[in-house]
Amino acid sequence: ELKSDADAKKKKPAYKLNGRIHLDNWNFLDSDPGVNELETGDPNDDPEDRWDFRRIRLTWTGTVPQNMLYRIQLDFNNPSSAEMKDVYLGFNNLPHNQTLLIGNQKRPIGLDHLNSSRHNVFAERPLAVEAFNEDARRLGVCMYGYNDAESVHWRYGAFLLENISTDGRYRGDYDEAGLYGRLSGSPWYDEISGGRGYWHWGLSGSVNTTDGDGTIDNDQNQNEARFRTRPLARSDSRWWNTNRILGSEGYQELGLESMLNIGALQITGEYINTWVQRDPAGGFNGSNLHFQGGYLFASYFLTGEYIPLNRTSGTIDRVKPFENFFVVDRCRGGTGKGWGALCVALRGDYLDLSDSDIRGGRGYGITAGLNWYWTAYSKIQCNYVVGEIENGGQGLDDVPLAAGIGGDFSILGFRYMIDF
Amino acid sequence: ELKSDADAKKKKPAYKLNGRIHLDNWNFLDSDPGVNELETGDPNDDPEDRWDFRRIRLTWTGTVPQNMLYRIQLDFNNPSSAEMKDVYLGFNNLPHNQTLLIGNQKRPIGLDHLNSSRHNVFAERPLAVEAFNEDARRLGVCMYGYNDAESVHWRYGAFLLENISTDGRYRGDYDEAGLYGRLSGSPWYDEISGGRGYWHWGLSGSVNTTDGDGTIDNDQNQNEARFRTRPLARSDSRWWNTNRILGSEGYQELGLESMLNIGALQITGEYINTWVQRDPAGGFNGSNLHFQGGYLFASYFLTGEYIPLNRTSGTIDRVKPFENFFVVDRCRGGTGKGWGALCVALRGDYLDLSDSDIRGGRGYGITAGLNWYWTAYSKIQCNYVVGEIENGGQGLDDVPLAAGIGGDFSILGFRYMIDF
Amino acid sequence: ELKSDADAKKKKPAYKLNGRIHLDNWNFLDSDPGVNELETGDPNDDPEDRWDFRRIRLTWTGTVPQNMLYRIQLDFNNPSSAEMKDVYLGFNNLPHNQTLLIGNQKRPIGLDHLNSSRHNVFAERPLAVEAFNEDARRLGVCMYGYNDAESVHWRYGAFLLENISTDGRYRGDYDEAGLYGRLSGSPWYDEISGGRGYWHWGLSGSVNTTDGDGTIDNDQNQNEARFRTRPLARSDSRWWNTNRILGSEGYQELGLESMLNIGALQITGEYINTWVQRDPAGGFNGSNLHFQGGYLFASYFLTGEYIPLNRTSGTIDRVKPFENFFVVDRCRGGTGKGWGALCVALRGDYLDLSDSDIRGGRGYGITAGLNWYWTAYSKIQCNYVVGEIENGGQGLDDVPLAAGIGGDFSILGFRYMIDF
């Protein structure tokens, strides 16, 4: 043991590189004037169709002897203005299978945000998950662990609320921060089939303090009580949007999650509540607020594969097609072919960000998805979204609105994905 | 075979890293007032001398089993505003030696743009090649292939016309796009000398549709019928410049290329024609336009090396000096030395972007080049350029000009290059 | 020998990746109104507390056969606006143990700037070192060498004065440049203890020419005679700041350094003088200027480690704790623990940037430091700074000031560091 310690001390740091390319094509097929206004500010100017590199991401992960680790993850989807994703250092192999990370990392609210974008069933995340945990990552310190049987996973930590993904810096004399925790379990997990059957549950919550003074006082803090999300697709603007809630002193969140997998079929749902306390300010009446939302989806592999569960992190893992998609000339003549895997899915989303004099939008979306897995590392996602939003528009203005705006919309999107 | 397929399916993605540093020094020795105006907008303010990192490029290329590949290539020459170059995913080993790529990649027009900047004989690309295929790369899907004898190469695809290298996103309800194709061959290729003798020919063309409404309507498309280039050196402005051609509905291109290599001597030329159809708009008369240009160069290795041909891509390859440049102390005393390889070259360029009421500039350039290869991966390029432009200035204004501007110029440039 | 040369010529370029994450937390405990004004421009608006990623740095270093090398080093601490650090190519193994580098690299003035930020004893560099060699790196060509006994090290070169770390480009018809040199030695170096005892001395100097016309004439050069620094902590503004000195024609620098290490104890000091020649301009009187500053620190490892010296570069090297910090479950039961290394340090800084009608600030700082080394590759730095500045404020205005401003300040900072 002493010898192995000495060996470890001599060892050098190590790293591995991973990356992903996600290329998107979004077509806004239909949109009511109110929706046009939410997107462009002009009822007669509809959302533009687009091709986006959604993610061009490089990740360097490594270890430092004896039991430290680090990650630097950068996204160059907009090369002239890169973003940081996970950037942290920490300790692993702590007692009770625990890891402690310090730096930019995901806040533990909502299953779908903790899943990697490489593995999620739908192209964009659910309304409620994105609204109540926008962009997920914040600067903080967080502990991750699981029990020896791997049936229970926990993570809890403290996070600053300002999103520093583009500038890497938090400024302000007021520490807008929150305590976050998530407990999840997989009481049923069919070891014999390699995990083709399981039930996962999760419970998460947060308590946050925000700077009620906002931009009124001298410090640089802006009020971080703001909940917003795009319409299950990559629009320019966030159609559901409470704007920065003037006078907000704090908020609390509570999330429930359930994921049932029976072979090729998965049924997953989440529900998140958020309560905001505020004082009267800027013409707003100051009454407390309650926002809420959730989703339910079913997915099914026509080709028989399944979505694996990573029990030690309480998230889904990489799908492995039975057969890759390929067309190659054989050395001894003829053409070899494989067809990949095919998955269909249907999701219903609901989100209510309108309460009292805040018109953040209330509405729903239905997403039909078709995923064609070329390999375990590449696929096409096709999503068709129809939805409706009403009583929205707060994101366009800083004062109470006389009336909300809204309307119907339908969107068709494709994503070409590879990762390594 | 089944076993090897199974093995392949189990294999992990892989990557390799490549990169290059190009450091430039450009001195604008002489420039007429009209040229000063093309550069700075002021006839009395001449072009600034400069040191630029022309390229600080990193490329991650890799494979995903079974027969997929990807590339992420980023350039940090301006670190606070990086650019994407090749960013794609695709399939290789398709029947008939074909590869299909989806993403940001070079449009197949013009030999010199398809050659890597690591291998090109002159520091900057010819006037016509850069004007008619500005920055080369666009978002598209393209097929690449060659025959079993490697004597014929083809590539063809569809591309969006907006350059997304800095922001990674195409916006607009109008799909400004083009079909591109290139067929090339090397009917003479001297296998016995390892390729010291060959003749390469190529034929390329494109058909493009552009948004005649330009910035007049609600969509975010700007008219992509714009042809422009710098003066064979890294000036701030593009001196040949048609600006966005108002009312343009589409354009077609046709390019011819020939490359003859006899040992240390290479003679290469290209000619490209572009035809633009347009409607009257913004004061312009709407008559159709014809632009054209080309170049011819001869290069010769004083030290006897040659420029290899990559037959399967129809482009030139890495020059390998017979002897590297080095000065080192020998272990057993004395100093070891090598002198590298020396190549001289002379190029004549012609470009006419002035037709009807569009004064994009008509002129020529003569480039004398001296390349000192330190190793196969590093060299100095020295280029002395003299040239003349007349009837230009359209790039400075959106309305028809009463008269064009122009003048003579001479420029001296150095490039220090390494790649890995 | 011939054979090994031939082998070398066949070899491929190689690279290795290194990186570092430095996460800062700075708290401005106390600041007088004059200090507030230096930071924010408003006497009533005090400096904001902050969390910054101070460095998210990736470095690709490699070799090209036969004896070339390169480095690309990028910092993503502000991901949307990255910076270049070392970016160069060059030759190593030159006669007399010499290496020649072309590109962006550190100017050889001041020991503390030549030390890596990974190894320095205090979180931020001394006032004088940063003021007289701001950000250290410039575009230039520099020779590095040492004698066979490794007791003497030299580096000398020519550098352009404009800092191109964010845009990678130097623009201007006037070449503002300087000649820089540093000679250092380690006459006492205790080989037997592996270098636990040594005395290092150094002498460095520079001669610079600057563009007196500054922004008055047509060229794009701004006057590079400007000396400025932050207050030993990461404030937004530089509190000591001469601004661009109008009419400055050139300046010279002379630096002295000494570093004595006796086991766990180190005593280090530097002193730098700068002389500026100028003509009257913009209301300034044009008399010549003399600025100066220095520091002295003592550091001591409570746990007995020492700071190694790299004799061939004349800089400090990586500290290796006797025992790493770790807490892990043992395979055979129980918990394994180690405590790392602990170092205390105290530094006094002095800097005078006020002379004649330039009120750049005169003052001192005392820094108490505590470094807890988790491993050889990771540590926490805690710095408590108290200081005073007077007769400052030139950085806020381009005209002579009627009176300087200043005051007292105290700052508490933490840095979480890992490198690989």
Is residue B376 assigned to a domain? yes
Q: DSSP secondary structure string, A335-366? A: EEEEE-EEEEEEEEEEEEEEETTEEEEEEEEE
Query: What is the pLDDT confidence band of residue A1, given thresholds at 50, 70 and 90?
Result: very low
Shortest Cα distance, chain C CAs vs residue B102, angstroms:
26
Which residue type, as a one-letter code, is found at position B73? Q
CA distances from C112 to A150, C129, C140, C297, C389 (A): 50, 7, 20, 12, 22
Report the pLDDT value the prediction gives residue A318, as an integer from 0 to 100.
97
**Which positions in chain C have a beta carbon within 8 angstroms of at least one beta carbon in chain A?**
17, 19, 21, 23, 44-46, 48-53, 56, 58, 76-82, 324, 326-330, 335-336, 338, 374-375, 377-378, 416-420
Is residue A197 assigned to a domain? yes
Mutate to test the interface with C, among B377, B411, B417 (most CBs of C within 10 A): B377
Cβ B338 vs Cβ B323: under 8 Å: yes
d(CA B116, CA B131): 17
Shortest Cα distance, chain B CAs vs residue A32, angstroms:
16
Q: DSSP secondary structure string, C22-60? A: EEEEEEEEEE-HHHHHHHHS-TTSPPPPEEEEEEEEEEE
d(CA A142, CA A152): 17
Q: What is the CA radius of gyration of chain C?
A: 22
Task: For residue A171, list chain C residues with Cβ-Cβ distance below 8 A.
Answer: 48-50
Containing domain of residue A404, as a range? Answer: 12-419
Report the pLDDT value the prediction gives residue A141, as an integer from 0 to 100.
98
- C42, closest residue in chain A (CA to CA): A218
Is residue C3 assigned to a domain? no
d(CA C114, CA C133): 10
Q: DSSP secondary structure string, A143-164? A: EEEE-TTS-EEEEEEEEE-S--
Cβ A59 vs Cβ A76: under 8 Å: no
Task: For residue A324, list chain B residues with Cβ-Cβ distance below 8 A.
Answer: 9, 65-66
Is residue B295 assigned to a domain? yes
Cβ B230 vs Cβ B26: under 8 Å: no
Tokens of B49: 């001398």
Q: DSSP secondary structure string, C93-126? A: EETTTEEEEEEEEE-S--HHHHS-TTT-SSSS--
Beta carbons within 8 Å of B376's beta carbon, 6+ residues apart: B318, B319, B320, B321, B324
Give the domain CATH number at C358. 2.40.160.10
Across the interface, do C21 and A89 touch by the CB < 8 Å criterion? yes
d(CA A203, CA A271): 10
**Pairing relation of β-strands C335-339 and B68-75?**
unpaired
Task: Write out pLDDT tens, residues A110-160.
Answer: 999 999 999 999 999 999 999 999 999 999 999 999 999 999 999 999 999
Contacts 24+ apart (CB under 8 A), A267-271: A267/A296, A267/A297, A267/A298, A268/A111, A268/A121, A268/A296, A268/A297, A268/A298, A268/A299, A269/A294, A269/A295, A269/A296, A269/A297, A270/A110, A270/A111, A270/A112, A270/A126, A270/A128, A270/A129, A270/A294, A270/A295, A271/A128
Tokens of C353: 């940037």
Tokens of A326: 């390929």
Report the pLDDT value the prediction gives residue B99, as an integer from 0 to 100.
97
Chains that touch C (3 or more CB pairs under 8 A): A, B
Report the pLDDT value the prediction gives residue B4, as an integer from 0 to 100.
53
Tokens of B309: 């041909």
Chains that touch B (3 or more CB pairs under 8 A): A, C
Which residues of chain B are under the pLDDT cut of 50? 1-2
d(CA B183, CA C320): 61
The closest CB to that of A172, out of C48, C58, C336, belongs to C48
SS3 A96: coil
Which residue type, as a one-letter code, is found at position C165? S
Mutate to test the interface with C, among B237, B324, B335 (most CBs of C within 10 A): B324
Report the pLDDT value the prediction gives residue A5, as an integer from 0 to 100.
52
- C138, closest residue in chain B (CA to CA): B51
* Cross-strand bridge partners of residue A7: none
CA distances from B106 to A309, B252, B346, C48 (A): 41, 17, 26, 47
Task: Write out pLDDT tens, residues C279-291.
Answer: 999 899 999 999 9
> What whole-number percentage of chain B has pLDDT above 70?
98
Is residue A99 assigned to a domain? yes
Cβ B257 vs Cβ B110: under 8 Å: yes
Of A351, A352, A349, give the one whose Cα is nearest residue A366. A349
Report the pLDDT value the prediction gives residue B1, as an integer from 0 to 100.
42
Q: How many residues are given for chain B?
A: 420
Which residues of chain C are under the pLDDT cut of 50? 1-2
Report the pLDDT value the prediction gives residue C7, as an integer from 0 to 100.
56
DSSP 3-state helix, strand, coil percentages of chain A (rounded to 5)? Answer: 5, 55, 35
Is residue A322 assigned to a domain? yes
Beta carbons within 8 Å of A393's beta carbon, 6+ residues apart: A34, A37, A38, A359, A361, A401, A404, A405, A406
Shortest Cα distance, chain B CAs vs residue A183, angstroms:
32
Beta carbons within 8 Å of C266's beta carbon, 6+ residues apart: C121, C259, C260, C297, C298, C299, C300, C306, C307
Cβ C294 vs Cβ C352: under 8 Å: no
Across the interface, do B74 and A77 touch by the CB < 8 Å criterion? no
Cβ B73 vs Cβ B89: under 8 Å: no
Count of the separate structural domains present in chain A:
1
CA distances from A375 to A298, A318, A371, B61 (A): 22, 10, 12, 18
Task: For residue C25, list chain A residues with Cβ-Cβ distance below 8 A.
Answer: none
DSSP 3-state helix, strand, coil percentages of chain B (rounded to 5)? Answer: 5, 55, 35
Task: Write out pLDDT tens, residues A208-236.
Answer: 999 988 777 777 889 999 999 999 999 99
For residue B347, the 8-state DSSP code is E
Task: Write out pLDDT tens, residues C175-227.
Answer: 899 999 999 999 999 999 999 999 999 999 999 999 988 777 777 889 999 99
Report the pLDDT value the prediction gives residue C125, as an integer from 0 to 100.
98
DSSP 3-state helix, strand, coil percentages of chain C (rounded to 5)? Answer: 5, 55, 35
Is residue A6 assigned to a domain? no
Cβ A310 vs Cβ A317: under 8 Å: yes
Across the interface, do B15 and A329 touch by the CB < 8 Å criterion? no
* Cross-strand bridge partners of residue C238: none
CA angle C78, C79, C83 (to 5 degrees): 70
Report the pLDDT value the prediction gives residue A337, as an integer from 0 to 100.
86
**ipTM of the complex in this document:** 0.95
Task: Write out pLDDT tens, residues B291-348.
Answer: 999 999 999 999 999 999 999 999 999 999 999 998 877 777 777 888 999 999 999 9
Shortest Cα distance, chain C CAs vs residue A206, angstroms:
21
Is residue B396 assigned to a domain? yes
The closest CB to that of B79, out of C74, C94, C102, belongs to C74
* Cross-strand bridge partners of residue A414: A25, A382
Of B110, B167, B120, give the one whose Cα is nearest residue B139. B167
d(CA B148, CA A44): 56
CA distances from C178 to A36, B147, C160, C257, C284 (A): 58, 58, 6, 21, 24
Across the interface, do A74 and C78 touch by the CB < 8 Å criterion? no
The closest CB to that of A80, out of B64, B166, B175, belongs to B166
